[in-house]
Amino acid sequence: MRSQPLSSAASRRRAEEQFKTKKKVDSADPPAQQAEVEKTARLRALRLAKEAADKETANRDAAVAAAARSAPRRHVSGGPQASRRSEPK
């Protein structure tokens, strides 16, 4: 048992290493097992693509938020009405 959790990069590397070390499908395997392995590979590819898209979206949203925070703010004046005083009648 670990005292500290792994970083996301370390976790990902570890998972990829485990995935690579799994038994490769032999052409002599039953068709059902072959289909299951192909399905798993497709699902993994889809998951990785979705994670990449989600990360890209999060980075883009963070950049937009940072740009909005650092953008110069304009002072909104009341226009000519604010500078005009009430004239006595």
* Local confidence pLDDT in tens for the 89 residues of the chain: 455 556 777 777 777 777 776 656 555 668 889 999 999 999 999 999 999 999 999 999 999 999 888 877 776 666 555 555 565 65
Give pLDDT, residue 29.
66
Give pLDDT, residue 60.
96
Annotate 22-89 with DSSP letters as a single string.
SPPPPTTS-HHHHHHHHHHHHHHHHHHHHHHHHHHHHHHHHHHHHHHHHSPPPP---THHHHPPPPP-
Give pLDDT, residue 64.
93
pTM over 0.85: no
